[in-house]
Structure 1
């Protein structure tokens, strides 16, 4: 093996370790935690951190992009579920668990919106979510007044358990079942009150793009 090949392999290994340790560190201490601590946790020098990420913003942007990639990876499993209702269940279960495991996500979203207000890759998922909703409504399993924004809000509600950590995460299956029972179509349902914003408005609100 050439020294160049070995160096590239070491660099990839260090990069992956830094990403994983950054997730743990930001979970514990927030996205402004010292990068020197990140280096110590990853077992590398501070210079190595900055060789991989020019600054904190570059690290934050990569973590955000990895979150978008995760949605892409989950998409086929959800879309290809045998029924529309199963797709709804998978969406809430998988994404709710991921949000719970990523308590620094709201701060990450806001920071990326500050860094690059025109960067809005999350909007590309609107059609996917609309598709599984339309499918579930057409088969008669989902109440007909549910929107893609409703599913996103419910996902965030499930994921909020991650802010408390520890044993609270074990409550998620119970809360998921309550939510799913509320989403099921059945006779005699009262219409949902109020209106929800469109997907783009909700996306921007979640990233706090509407704030100065």
Structure 2
């Protein structure tokens, strides 16, 4: 018989509460914004207010963990995307997987903006710049992706497709219609209209994407 560990059950309970708080915070922030009352989070999670603050002493601590979990989600998606059999398939998977994740996670843009305020020098997303550049170069070298498209162009398209999540779950079964339109526009062919201007660099896009929102005016 295994010896009883009296500390195991409290630890399991604490982990369960932690996961429940994160899950409910995602829903609460999506519904009511990043400044929704944390007392309501406690009610939704079925715990006391003190439990919330034991796990997340400040709202910023909760936001940071949600942000880091999002970055972890992207890291988990990367192997499948980068290991695709062709460069074009990598492009398809990049748009499909990331846009689906974003459409199903409408709280993410708010978390990104708040993290930019909390810790503007914290930029783990920049680790994805080189791999995305690589998949773009691979698809262009095989002649499947139009030559004037950049990695940032693809990232903006992910944002655009992911924003369809604002319509709620009712629209989620249909967003792949827009994905198909976007993919057709990315395919290399002889009769393309050249894209106007130069593409945005990744660092500027990273900063812009973490500032976006109704109150974000362009800098002079």
Please, what TM-score do these two structures have when normalized by structure 1? 0.96
Identify which of 54, 67, 72 aligns with 2:75: 72
Q: Is 1:26 aligned to 2:26, yes or no?
A: no
Deviations 1:140-181 (A, max 9, x none): 110011101100100011011111213222221100000000
Q: Is 1:82 aligned to 2:60, yes or no?
A: no
CA distance in 1, matches of 2:100, 2:51: 32
Matched position secondary structure for 1:191:
coil
Q: Is 1:189 aligned to 2:192, yes or no?
A: yes
Matched position secondary structure for 2:30:
helix
CA distance in 2, matches of 1:170, 1:199: 31
Moved over 3 A (4+): 209-212
Match of 2:145 in 1: 142
Query: Is there any run of 5+ residues in structure 2 with no aligned partner, and where?
Result: none
Match of 2:155 in 1: 152
Matched position secondary structure for 1:60:
helix
Query: Is there any run of 5+ residues in structure 1 with no aligned partner, and where?
Result: none
CA RMSD of aligned residues (A): 1.5
CA distance in 1, matches of 2:107, 2:19: 19
Aligned-pair CA distance for 1:133: 0.5
CA distance in 2, matches of 1:2, 1:169: 45
Aligned residues: 212
Aligned-pair CA distance for 1:196: 2.0
Aligned-pair CA distance for 1:26: 1.0
The structure in which a higher percent of residues are helix is: 1
